[in-house]
A and B are shown apart, each in its own frame.
Chain A
Amino acid sequence: MSAPTDVGAAGDFAHGAPRVVTAAGREIAVVRWDEELFALRNVCPHQSGPLCGGVVPRLDSPRGGDVVSLRTSPIIYCAWHHWEFDLRTGKALDDPKLRVKTYEILERDGRVYVNV
Chain B
Amino acid sequence: MAVYRGKLIDLDVHHTWTSPDEIIERLPARWRTVASTVRGNGLPIEGPANSSGPPGGGHRGDSEPEVGPPGSSYPLMREQLLDRYNMERVVLGFNTGRNNGVSNPYFGQALVRAINDWNAETWLSIDDDRLASVVLIPGQFVDEAVAEIERVASHPKIVAGLIGWNSLGKPLGSPVYHPIYEALHDAELMLNVHIGAGEYSNKGGAAMVASGAPALYYDFHVLFPQNMMHHLASLLVHGVFDKYPNLKVVCIEGGVGWLPWLASNLDANYKVLRAEMPSLQRKPSEYLGDHVRITTQPFEASDDPARVIRALSTVNGIERMLCFSTDYPHWDGDNPRYMANRLPDEWQERVFRRNAADTYHWPAPAQISEPVRA
Q: Residues of A at under 8 Å CB distance from B? A: 46-50, 52-54, 77-82
A77 touches B56 (CB 8 A): yes
Residue of chain A at shortest CB distance from B330 = A80
* Cross-chain contact of B331 among A52, A54, A80 (Cβ < 8 A): A80
B78 at the interface (CB under 8 A from A): no
5 contacts between A and B (CB under 8 A): A47-B337, A48-B337, A53-B61, A79-B60, A81-B331
* Cross-chain contact of B60 among A48, A54, A80 (Cβ < 8 A): A80
Q: Which residues of A contact B60 (CB under 8 A)?
A: 49, 79-80
B176 to chain A, nearest CB (A): 38
Q: Residues of B at under 8 Å CB distance from A? A: 54-56, 60-62, 331-335, 337-338, 374
Docked CA distance A49–B62 (Å):
9
Docked CA distance A46–B374 (Å):
11
Per DSSP, are chain A's interface residues mostly helix, strand or loop, or mixed? loop
B56 touches A53 (CB 8 A): yes
Q: Which residues of A contact B334 (CB under 8 A)?
A: 47
Docked CA distance A49–B63 (Å):
11
Docked CA distance A114–B40 (Å):
45
Q: Which residues of B contact A77 (CB under 8 A)?
A: 56
- Contacts A54-B56, A77-B56, A79-B60: A48 and B331 contacting too (C-beta < 8 A)? no
A54 touches B338 (CB 8 A): no
A82 touches B62 (CB 8 A): no
Residue of chain A at shortest CB distance from B335 = A47
- Contacts A80-B333, A82-B331: A47 and B338 contacting too (C-beta < 8 A)? yes
Q: Which residues of B contact A52 (CB under 8 A)?
A: 61
Q: Which residues of A contact B332 (CB under 8 A)?
A: 80-81
Residue of chain B at shortest CB distance from A77 = B56
A82 touches B55 (CB 8 A): yes
Docked CA distance A82–B332 (Å):
9
Q: Which residues of B contact A78 (CB under 8 A)?
A: 61
Docked CA distance A50–B331 (Å):
12
Docked CA distance A46–B333 (Å):
12
A50 to chain B, nearest CB (A): 5
Docked CA distance A41–B309 (Å):
32
Q: Which residues of A contact B335 (CB under 8 A)?
A: 47-49
Q: A48-B337, A80-B333, A82-B55 are in contact. List 18 more A-B contacts (CB 8 A).
A: A47-B334, A47-B335, A47-B338, A48-B335, A48-B338, A48-B374, A49-B60, A49-B62, A50-B61, A50-B62, A54-B56, A77-B56, A79-B61, A80-B60, A80-B61, A80-B62, A81-B331, A82-B331
Docked CA distance A14–B333 (Å):
30
Q: Which residues of A contact B61 (CB under 8 A)?
A: 50, 52-54, 78-80
Docked CA distance A48–B374 (Å):
7
Residue of chain A at shortest CB distance from B373 = A48
Docked CA distance A82–B374 (Å):
18
Residue of chain B at shortest CB distance from A43 = B374
Residue of chain A at shortest CB distance from B54 = A82
Q: Which residues of B contact A54 (CB under 8 A)?
A: 56, 61
Docked CA distance A79–B58 (Å):
11
- Lowest 8 A-B CB distances belong to which pairs? A79-B61, A53-B61, A47-B338, A48-B374, A82-B56, A79-B62, A47-B335, A80-B60
Docked CA distance A53–B61 (Å):
6
Docked CA distance A50–B63 (Å):
11
B146 to chain A, nearest CB (A): 40
Docked CA distance A111–B55 (Å):
33
